[in-house]
Amino acid sequence: MNAPVLAPQTPLREIIPAERAALFERELGLRSAYDLLTYFPYRYEDLTAPTPSNLLGGALEGEENAAGTVISVKHQFLPGRARAKTTALLRDDAGIFTAVWFGRPYLRNQLREGMRLFVRGRVQRSFSGPQINVSLHRVTREGEAYDGEVLPVYGQTARLQLKTIRTVIRKVLPRLLEIPLDELPEDLQRKHALLPAREAYRAIHQPARMSEALAARKRVIYGEFLGLALGAAIKRAQRAFTGGALPMSAPDDLMDELERHLPFALTGAQRRVIRQIWGDMALPQAMNRLLQGDVGSGKTLVAAAAVLLAHRAGAQAALMAPTEILARQHAAKLATLLLPFGIPVEVVLGGQGAKARREALGHLADGSASLAIGTHALLEDDVVFARLGLAIIDEQHKFGVQQRMRLRVKGYGGNLPHTLVMTATPIPRTLAQSLYADLDLSVIDELPPGRTPVRTRATTEDHKPDVWAFVRKQVERGRQAYVVTPSIGLDNGKKNGEEEESKAAIVRATEVYDELTRRVFPDLRVGLLHGKMPAREKDEAMAAFARNEVSVLVATTVVEVGVDVANASVMVILDAQRYGLAQLHQLRGRVGRGAAASFCILVAPDDTESERLQVLERTADGFAIAEEDLRLRGTGDLRGTAQSGAANFKLANLVADFHLYAEAKADADAVVAADPRLERPEHDGLRRLLAAGETLQALVVSS
């Protein structure tokens, strides 16, 4: 069988008229044959199986189908609402029913007595029998044997409507199916009772029955999962071959020595994680580890332990943070922790003076400084290390894979630096393993002792006076409060890992600041902090708050990452409905750092989201919250945060389809164990699966 072949990258304009192709590209971002083939319907209209008229209205919710012959038609105009109304009486074998259309004047020329109609819509029952409020109808021609169909529903735009998309795809589908597809090995196909690839890609666009559409979706979703899992398995296998890092082995008493110089005992989780990291660093192949720990779990100290070992092994370390505020705070904390060990620290920031920068770079280049702390400014070409052996990246999600890799190439003597990525974004373990496929995972699952959970309450804007009264009471007791205004939902771009905030976000923060200073707390010291302020002003605002010269700090989410003010006891989050639960949890982590009682108040305009927000009233476990967030919002949220290039699915949902992911992962591990580079001919289709996803891109970057 010699099917003609169409290259997946064939431009759309070679398949459909150029003008159309331009429209598809502009409106939907579709450029190639493959793009169009994988522009999947997000749901279907099921026009099969009409309900007999005497049973219509039996459905508890949703739309029903009916079919019948038109007995009479009436057209009216409803002047008050300026709408056309069309009413048809229909008969089927079981009786009579009414179909009603609104706002479709053209029906005047379409509907005739004696015609056979297929209608779909919501049903109301009345004394005169069932009445269908028609959302969709299909006229059948005389003698046409029509027993319904399943119509694909594609995402449409104002300029490119569903009807056009449907027509175009229906027309070119046979050509699109000439693209070489991700055919699965027979055994996998049989094991999961999956449709063959060509059959699945056809049926997902043109199913004869809903059951066929579902089977097609299952096949495509399995393929997406298998692609992700294969990419991950291959990366792991490759990593085992690539050596090239300086082994640094920790002397037996290093843990004791570390602990002797701390004001407190390490938690069990910290000790376990430090051992994992030191264990990795002892090997001649580069560590590539993700350290997850809830806000306040003590990740800084774990970073310090890694730096200590690098220093003892005669290597340098670099720590990269997403913002200047955070970089400075790391520098202050780490300098203190590392002081007893005589480890010299330098800071490299974008907004730094020329002289300070020159000096810092000099000390890194000649090896006299052992640790560089900075922002993405560390990635610039003039930052050269004498012996970089360890790269630590804080708050992973603000940086992309590429940036991670640029720090890695700064290793020396053909060595890669050991890499530790730290994040406070709690991601369920199973999910983390697939999103960060190329990283080993360490989790700090225990908070230092003596913390009291933050008491959390979700409320609505009409209770704001009570909220401010509460804040005032805390301030009178000598405590401080954050008032956070949203930058998310308003901001889209994050450039170079620096916070980018939209104008709208800053306007909002300034409004709240004005309201509080003028009207609510004219007698208190109120501060303002947002992302567009110059670095020095930001630092000054933060420092004034840290010194308790400011009692109430209005801030955009720049405070999200890491800033530590132990005396702050209240976190008020305005427009809380805009945030994911995990992000709210992180913000909440800014208070409750001491033993005293702390409070978090989530304020939303109304109570439509109160059920979701109440999850935070009940639990303080970041991982449980992340699971709940996933359940409620799907992975959409995490995609932005996890840029490992992995989870860019068209159909699959890691939460809803998790069982299938687990199976695909097991299959992928088995395939890669037997054929690590997918070189066997029966794995041709699997190679395509890899190429289809961004997994391939991630592979290229990291190898």
Part of the chain binding Mg ion (CB under 5 A), chosen from 242-250, 256-264, 446-454, 556-564: 556-564
Q: Which of 47, 563 has the CB closer to Mg ion?
A: 563
Part of the chain binding Mg ion (CB under 5 A), chosen from 310-318, 469-477, 541-549, 554-562: 554-562
Partner interacting with residue 682 (select from ligand ADP, Mg ion, none; CB below 5-8 Å by kind):
none
HSE-up of 580 (CA within 13 Å, CB side)?
A: 25
Rounded CA separation 607/599 (Å):
20
Partner interacting with residue 322 (select from ligand ADP, Mg ion, none; CB below 5-8 Å by kind):
none
Q: Which of 590, 688 has the CB closer to Mg ion?
A: 590
Partner interacting with residue 421 (select from Mg ion, ligand ADP, none; CB below 5-8 Å by kind):
none
C-beta neighbour count of 72 within 10 angstroms: 10
Let me know: does 585 contact 622? Beta carbons within 8 Å. yes
Let me know: does 456 contact 619? Beta carbons within 8 Å. no
Rounded CA separation 231/667 (Å):
12
- 607: tokens are 């109570």
Q: Which residue is nearest to Mg ion (CB)?
A: 562
- Owner of token pair 């997946």: 8
Residue 323 CB, nearest approach to Mg ion (Å): 12
Residue 390 CB, nearest approach to ligand ADP (Å): 17
Q: Which of 132, 563 has the CB closer to ligand ADP?
A: 563
Q: Which of 302, 647 has the CB closer to ligand ADP?
A: 302
Residue 377 CB, nearest approach to Mg ion (Å): 19
- 539: tokens are 């630092």
Handedness of CA 640, 329, 457, 517 (dihedral sign): negative
Residue 351 CB, nearest approach to Mg ion (Å): 21
Partner interacting with residue 267 (select from ligand ADP, Mg ion, none; CB below 5-8 Å by kind):
ligand ADP
The residues that touch ligand ADP, with contacts defined as CB under 6 A, are 264, 266-267, 270, 293, 295-301, 424, 448, 562, 564
Short-list 326, 367, 325, 322, CA closest to 346: 367
Handedness of CA 250, 252, 257, 258 (dihedral sign): positive
Part of the chain binding Mg ion (CB under 5 A), chosen from 4-12, 512-520, 560-568, 575-583: 560-568
Q: Which of 204, 273 has the CB closer to ligand ADP?
A: 273
Which residues does 95 contact at the CB level (< 8 Å), separation at least 6? 52, 53, 54, 129
Partner interacting with residue 389 (select from ligand ADP, Mg ion, none; CB below 5-8 Å by kind):
none
Residue 590 CB, nearest approach to ligand ADP (Å): 10
Short-list 85, 92, 96, 173, CA closest to 140: 92
Residue 430 CB, nearest approach to Mg ion (Å): 24
Which residues does 190 contact at the CB level (< 8 Å), separation at least 6? none
Part of the chain binding Mg ion (CB under 5 A), chosen from 84-92, 244-252, 440-448, 555-563: 555-563
Residue 313 CB, nearest approach to ligand ADP (Å): 23
CB-based burial of residue 677 (10 Å sphere; 0-12 exposed, 13-18 middle, 19+ buried)? Answer: exposed
Position 562 contacts Mg ion (CB under 5 A)? yes
Q: Which residues of 339-377 are buried (b: 16+ CB within 10 A; e: fewer)?
A: eeeebebbbbbbebeeeebeebbebbeeeebbbbbbbbb
Residue 298 CB, nearest approach to ligand ADP (Å): 3
Part of the chain binding Mg ion (CB under 5 A), chosen from 142-150, 345-353, 411-419, 558-566: 558-566
**At 272, which amino acid appears?**
R
Residue 624 CB, nearest approach to ligand ADP (Å): 18
Residue 290 CB, nearest approach to ligand ADP (Å): 14
Could you tell me how many residues make up the chain?
A: 703
Partner interacting with residue 689 (select from ligand ADP, Mg ion, none; CB below 5-8 Å by kind):
none
Q: Which of 176, 334 has the CB closer to Mg ion?
A: 334
- 675: tokens are 């054929």
Partner interacting with residue 426 (select from Mg ion, ligand ADP, none; CB below 5-8 Å by kind):
none
Partner interacting with residue 313 (select from ligand ADP, Mg ion, none; CB below 5-8 Å by kind):
none
Rounded CA separation 612/180 (Å):
44
Position 622 contacts Mg ion (CB under 5 A)? no
Residue 302 CB, nearest approach to ligand ADP (Å): 8
Rounded CA separation 545/388 (Å):
36
Q: Which of 486, 562 has the CB closer to Mg ion?
A: 562
Short-list 525, 516, 484, CA closest to 501: 484
Q: Which of 444, 467 has the CB closer to ligand ADP?
A: 444
Q: Which of 116, 585 has the CB closer to ligand ADP?
A: 585
Q: Which of 270, 375 has the CB closer to ligand ADP?
A: 270
Partner interacting with residue 77 (select from Mg ion, ligand ADP, none; CB below 5-8 Å by kind):
none
Residue 321 CB, nearest approach to ligand ADP (Å): 11
Partner interacting with residue 296 (select from Mg ion, ligand ADP, none; CB below 5-8 Å by kind):
ligand ADP
Q: Which of 562, 622 has the CB closer to Mg ion?
A: 562
Q: Which of 202, 299 has the CB closer to ligand ADP?
A: 299
Rounded CA separation 114/143 (Å):
12
Phi, psi of 251, deg, nearest 5: -60, 150
Partner interacting with residue 645 (select from Mg ion, ligand ADP, none; CB below 5-8 Å by kind):
none
Part of the chain binding Mg ion (CB under 5 A), chosen from 82-90, 140-148, 559-567, 608-616: 559-567
Rounded CA separation 281/305 (Å):
11
Residue 500 CB, nearest approach to Mg ion (Å): 21
Helix (H) or strand (E) holding 509: helix 503-515
Rounded CA separation 92/70 (Å):
9
Rounded CA separation 504/233 (Å):
43
Q: Which of 207, 298 has the CB closer to ligand ADP?
A: 298
Rounded CA separation 155/164 (Å):
11
Rounded CA separation 261/274 (Å):
16
Short-list 107, 106, 125, 127, CA closest to 117: 107
Partner interacting with residue 297 (select from ligand ADP, Mg ion, none; CB below 5-8 Å by kind):
ligand ADP
Partner interacting with residue 270 (select from ligand ADP, Mg ion, none; CB below 5-8 Å by kind):
ligand ADP
Residue 559 CB, nearest approach to Mg ion (Å): 13
Let me know: does 634 contact 656? Beta carbons within 8 Å. yes
Q: Which of 296, 322 has the CB closer to ligand ADP?
A: 296
User: Widest CA span of the chain, in angstroms?
Assistant: 95
- 310: tokens are 């690098």
Contact footprint for Mg ion (CB under 5 A): 562
